[in-house]
Amino acid sequence: MHCDPRFARVREVFERHFADGEELGAAFAVYLDGELVVDLWDGVADRHTGRPWERDTPVFAYSCTKAVTAAVLLRLAERGAVDVGAPVAQVWPEFAARGKEAVTVEHVLTHQAGLPVVEEPVPVEEFEDHPAIAARLAGQAPLWEPGSAHGYHALTYGFLVGEVVRRVTGTSVGELVAGEIAGPLGLELWVGAPEPVIARTARLMATDRSGPAAPAAAEGAGLRVTEAAADGRPQDVLAEMARAALDPHSLMNRALGNPGIHLLKGGANHPVILRAGWPAAGVVTTARGLAGFYRGLLSGELLRPETLREALRPRVDGPDRVLWLDTSFGLGFMRPSLTFPMPSKSAFGHSGMGGAVGLGDPERGLAIGYVMNKMANALSGNLRGLRLVQAVYDAL
């Protein structure tokens, strides 16, 4: 393990999480101005076998994938292969069905397309057939007028963006990640893991799910949001969120539950999921690989600086129709909000269900990755990751 003396407090926080029983296995990495200053890992990768977490142990990181997928599409936009402001139907004609002819690529990247749910249950046999799932979405009507509101497209984001990528390039997001991002930068990061990687991937462990999941900020602070309903939100957003989490027919659960990872033994640990490479929730990575992705963004190796600046400009900010709490998005990247509570307004990135988080901060030259296998009961990030991130900023 490696930790620059300036970041000794980060190592203390990391070690305390294990001492207090909050972690099973985890890793945390930080680049500062392109230099790897923190590279920590510890614990157990598989509680059933006792297999230790090694330096190169990867793990499934859920929605941290969305930022990687966004970078794939933005690279295509740089080349003129995709116009972010143009209708999706320009490259995917079937998508225009049922009133979606004006839905733009930007609407998809910013969760404004009105398609947060696959309406018909996706059979397990289709889990690795991305075009088939995309075709289901193409045949649906939006749940709200595209562009009029935003709601987290937890899984559908990837099938929509992924199909745009496939129509333009003839290949998948995962193949482009391997050939143009992870491969050239030497990153331990896969959207669709090969069998040798699956064999050494850490196994996720679920925590008690008896209560509704919440964003990390709410998880830690017992937060209750009691703003007036002038914007249409209920006065107690968390109470409404709790009701939605317990209602199997709520938009939240419909968005999170189809395709149903739970249909496979072991859930996200199942080889089908690890191999499928869903572009919204399919990345398998180490902390160093995730942080290295953001280092590549900040260095200009993956996107031109002007492309990144434009991608980070917030497009939506406020009440989320799926998650209830406020979210903020640029073009595929989370911006600071209650669901992505960062110490700096210049931070961007994406968290993953249960706790993983990847972020970059161009003003401070920071690129950070945190992954773990003990899932928190949180939709977005968890307190362990937030404490580590805060310790990094405190060290500056």
Report the catalytic residues. 63
| Buried b or exposed e, range 264-275, using 16+ CB within 10 angstroms | beebbbbebbbb
Q: Is the dihedral of CA 340, 357, 15, 206 positive or negative?
A: positive
Q: Which helix (H) or strand (E) holds 33?
A: none
Cα 230 off chain centre by: 30
Q: Which amino acid is at 396?
A: L
Q: What dihedral angle (degrees, nearest 10) is formed by the CA atoms of 211, 332, 81, 306?
A: -160
List the end-to-end C-alpha distance of the chain, in Å, as a whole number: 21
Record the tokens describing residue 74, joined without a space: 């933005």
Q: Which amino acid is at 92?
A: W
Q: Which of 162, 153, 109, 114 is nearest to 135 (CA)?
A: 162
> In Å, how far are 186, 303, 318, 333 from 299, measured between CA atoms?
15, 8, 30, 17
Q: Which stretches does DSSP call E strand in the chain?
A: 2-3, 25-32, 35-46, 51-52, 59-60, 189-191, 283-285, 316-319, 326-329, 348-351, 357-361, 366-372
Instruction: Give the C-alpha separation, 342 to 349, whole Å.
Output: 10
Instruction: Please report how many Cα atoms fall inside a 13 Å half-sphere around the Cα of residue 209, on the Cβ side.
Output: 9
Record the tokens describing residue 354, joined without a space: 């249960």
Q: Which amino acid is at 316?
A: V
Q: Are 156 and 118 in contact (CB under 8 A)?
A: yes
Instruction: Please report how many Cα atoms fall inside a 13 Å half-sphere around the Cα of residue 66, on the Cβ side.
Output: 31
